[in-house]
Structure 1
Amino acid sequence: MSSSSMKKNWVRGESLGSGSSATVNIAIPTNPSTHNFPSPTAVKSSLFLTSYSLKTEKDVLDILGPSPNIIKCYGNDCTVENGKRYYNVFLEYASGGSLADQLRKYGGRFPEAYVRRRTKSILEGLKHIHSKGYVHCDVKPQNILVFDNGVVKIADLGLAKRRGEINREYVCRGTPMYMSPESLTDNVYESPVDIWALGCTIVEMITGEHAGTLEAARILGR
């Protein structure tokens, strides 16, 4: 879908969340009979001048192509709202929120069968990302989205990088609690860092605690 085809076809609806540089809302079509993206659709927006990460996410999703384990992207556009220019990316809407939301809602300690199914889906998504020559670099429960049929999909690829590409010294990719030793000490970000982060996420699903905590170790040691 081209950028221009989506301009003036929607308005910003309910807030779904926000991060350090982007907000996520429901995109409401202004003319349901002619709009050309699914309803509901999520729109992720950044101020245009600080939208590098969001543009990276859009570019990487385009390169990755369709995968049942990675969030779909429907297009992008630019808008001017309250005198400010925004870059917007239209994404598949996940009614269940993120895996982190599910952990908060249910207190963690998911059944083993649930953890196995979710882990398999995430692994298949990571396999696809790696096969296309990329590393996600920020796998964590907040970046795994949950759909109403229980399916989970990988999202938030704004920190992704090409495999084999040297990481610039001043660029920290990821969230410290989920970063591998080689990322923290040697500034190395290759496919294994995603598997490390997935391991941390699995521990969190099983215990309800971050992988590095004594409480998580106590629960796993039972």
Structure 2
Amino acid sequence: MNWVRGDSLGHGTFATVNIVVPANGSTFFPSPAAVKSSLSHNAGLLENEKEILSRLGSSPHIINCLGHDHTIENGVEFYNVFLEQAAGGSLADQVKKHGGSLPESFVRRCTRSIVEGLRHIHEHGFVHCDVKLQNVLVFDNGKVKIADFGLAKEKGEKHGKCECRGTPLFMSPESVNDNEYEPPADIWALGCAVVEMATGKPAWDIRDGSSIWSLLVRIGVGEELPKIPEDLSEEGKDFLGKCFVKDPTKRWSAEMLLKHPFIKVDSISFDKVHEPLSPPSPSTHFDFPHWASTVTASLPSSPYSDEWPGWSCTPESRLRRLVTDKRPENWSELDGWMRVR
């Protein structure tokens, strides 16, 4: 494949996202396309994403993977995954662009697409494990698609007893209490995402100085549930009530939710969003605490720390950052294009 690494669309501790520009008349890539890259020796999550996207097959509600390769750039080996580019960035970007919340008609349409995507994922035997607005991308035709499958897993796949997987603000009670990450956990996270679309705020009311541990206790212990927006329609409130059920066996599935009046096809408009889209910014995390997606056996004491970027890393490296001042390596922004082969 002949391609040129174009402008940066975003970056994390272990991966970058850039525009792909076909080189030397290459017709391999549709336009536009993006490349997500990690250092080859630390590309486990990106390799997992490529594998799961390949096994999921095509869906109009899931980001399309265009292939992968390895490159040597300035003497360093990278693993690259090619994806279709979302001109509108993420739903998180759209919330900021619209002043902190989205119109309910748009929320309904976006939610319908996300649930369609989750049904496809669950029917094919997988769990996304990190559903949130930053991982739902918006295209210039107004469609939205689920992206970022680095933390995704097969249904029934077991993990370590002390592992924390995903983003704490979106974790389900069974994930906190029993380390259980199955399709119902995605539905709980979906509910949290709908609340953020409608209000621009997290589903859980948190204060400065709050610890992640206190949040996890609230999620896992007692009867407290995420706050359902008062301004949402009765259909919307009922939809969220079906997502926020403590018992995962009683929580509605994606298949069931598709029949709910809040997102039934005949009750919502699928017209294109006509307003200009903001520039993409895949790493945006609102103006809230940067509680990052993670697979780790350790958690920071406070959510209000800058040291937890939106990409996963190993328990060892997270522990090192807890007890020292060592910061992760930051890849510098490219000033121009670099030819790779």
TM over 0.5: yes
Match of 2:86 among 94, 105, 111: 94
User: Which residue identity does 1:180 align to in structure 2?
Assistant: S
Please give the per-residue CA displacement for 1:57-83, whole angstroms capped at 9, x wherever unaligned. Answer: 000000000000000001000001111
Please give the per-residue CA displacement for 1:54-112, whole angstroms capped at 9, x wherever unaligned. Answer: 00000000000000000000100000111111000000100000011111222232111
Which one has a larger percent helix, Structure 1 or Structure 2? Answer: 1
Which one has a larger percent strand, Structure 1 or Structure 2? Answer: 1
> Is there any run of 5+ residues in structure 1 with no aligned partner, and where?
1-5
User: Does the alignment pair 1:60 with 2:69?
Assistant: no
Match of 1:220 among 229, 236, 239: 229
C-alpha deviation, 1:214, in angstroms: 6.6
Name the stretch that deviates more: 138-147 or 208-217.
Answer: 208-217
Contact 1:98 1:143 (8 Å CA) reproduced: yes
Give the number of aligned pairs: 213
Q: For 1:25, what is the secondary structure of its paired residue?
A: strand
TM-score (norm 1): 0.91
Alpha-carbon distance in structure 2 between the residues aligned to 1:78 and 1:114: 39
Alpha-carbon distance in structure 2 between the residues aligned to 1:20 and 1:10: 24
Alpha-carbon distance in structure 2 between the residues aligned to 1:128 and 1:72: 13
**Structure 1 partner of 2:150:** 158
User: Does the alignment pair 1:122 with 2:114?
Assistant: yes
C-alpha deviation, 1:192, in angstroms: 0.5
Structure 1 residues 169 and 82: CA distance shift in structure 2, 3 A: farther
Provide the aligned C-alpha RMSD in A.
1.6
Contact 2:129 2:153 (8 Å CA) reproduced: yes
Q: Higher RCO, 1 or 2 (CA under 8 Å, sep at least 6)? A: 2
Structure with max Cα Rg: 2
In percent, how many aligned pairs have the same letter?
61
> Is there any run of 5+ residues in structure 2 with no aligned partner, and where?
208-225, 232-341
User: Which residue identity does 2:77 align to in structure 1?
Assistant: R
Alpha-carbon distance in structure 2 between the residues aligned to 1:171 and 1:22: 22
C-alpha deviation, 1:170, in angstroms: 5.0
Please give the per-residue CA displacement for 1:33-68, whole angstroms capped at 9, x wherever unaligned. Answer: 333111221000000011000000000000000000
C-alpha deviation, 1:151, in angstroms: 0.4
Q: For 2:60, what is the secondary structure of its paired residue?
A: coil
**Structure 2 partner of 1:146:** 138
Alpha-carbon distance in structure 1 between the residues aligned to 2:154 and 2:68: 22
Contact 2:162 2:179 (8 Å CA) reproduced: no
